Amino acid sequence: MTESLPVRVFADRNDACRTLAAEVAALIGAINDSGRTAVLGLATGRTPLPFYAELIRLHREGALSFSRVVTFNLDEYLGLPGEHPESYRAFMQRELFGHVDIPAENVHIPDGTVGEAELEAHCQAYEDAIRAAGGIDFQLLGIGRTGHIGFNEPGSPKNSRTRLVGLDPVTRQDAAPSFGGLEQVPEHAISMGCGTILEARKIALLAWGSAKAGIVREALTGPITDQVSASFLQEHPDATFYLDAEAGAGL
């Protein structure tokens, strides 16, 4: 089988992240030089950790500033306040924002504490804010074992937008260890939709380890289907998979 998307397989995740971080730093620099603020779509999970570590290193070396960067995170667990250690807001603060010069007002993450009555308006406002910022220049993605990007579980339509989503049992199981048990894992989240993600001008999906090899192969070479939301990337004009040798082993 041949994959239709560009795939870059690296010896290990640190290699991949060094390469991608240099590319993203160059992109931010070029956009800032053209007089614009750069708009990044960011992801959580274990996968982007070495990428964020590399961005922090570049920042410390004076090679990268976030002073003219605006960010939008993909998703947030419903019901978790930003102070909860497993909230994606806390994750981003810990793993990236707390170590770089990004202005607090430039950071956007869905609010997991929003009430039911305001949920729809909150999601619409998130979409409006992305549009008002000029759209996403670069979107970072991981991939869940269900093939999800963001929290777009099987059945998420290609044109879906930021909304309330239910989490797949597989996804909740995967999150259980860090929450200290399955019953602690939220059942819902707010997530950018597939349509929101696909509007990003440039996309990189990262995956490491043999546990991701099967779903990576499905996303790249299988049918384009809402059962594997990452398969929609096959139709994107500028999406690339960055893999380590284990995650790329099935190709």
Q: Could you say whether residue 76 binds ligand GLP (CB under 6 A)? A: no
If we measure between CA atoms, which residue out of 209, 198, 206, 180 comes closest to residue 236?
A: 198
| Nearest-angstrom CA–CA distance, 76 and 109 | 7
Question: Using CB under 6 A, which of the segments 23-31, 43-51, 52-60, 154-162 binds ligand GLP?
Answer: 43-51
Q: Could you say whether residue 74 binds ligand GLP (CB under 6 A)? A: yes
User: Of these, 7, 32, 37, 45, which contacts ligand GLP (CB under 6 A)?
Assistant: 45
Q: Could you say whether residue 194 binds ligand GLP (CB under 6 A)? A: no
Q: Could you say whether residue 186 binds ligand GLP (CB under 6 A)? A: no
Q: Could you say whether residue 214 binds ligand GLP (CB under 6 A)? A: no
Question: Using CB under 6 A, which of the segments 23-31, 44-52, 98-106, 232-240 binds ligand GLP?
Answer: 44-52
User: Of these, 41, 50, 147, 150, which contacts ligand GLP (CB under 6 A)?
Assistant: 150
Q: Whose Cβ is closer to ligand GLP: residue 31's or residue 212's? A: 212
Q: Could you say whether residue 248 binds ligand GLP (CB under 6 A)? A: no
User: Of these, 31, 43, 204, 243, which contacts ligand GLP (CB under 6 A)?
Assistant: 43
CB of 144 to ligand GLP, least distance (A): 4
Q: Whose Cβ is closer to ligand GLP: residue 31's or residue 138's? A: 138
Count of C-beta atoms within a 10 Å radius of residue 184:
12
Q: Could you say whether residue 112 binds ligand GLP (CB under 6 A)? A: no
Q: Could you say whether residue 171 binds ligand GLP (CB under 6 A)? A: yes
Q: Whose Cβ is closer to ligand GLP: residue 106's or residue 191's? A: 191
Contact footprint for ligand GLP (CB under 6 A) = 43-47, 74-75, 142-144, 150-151, 171
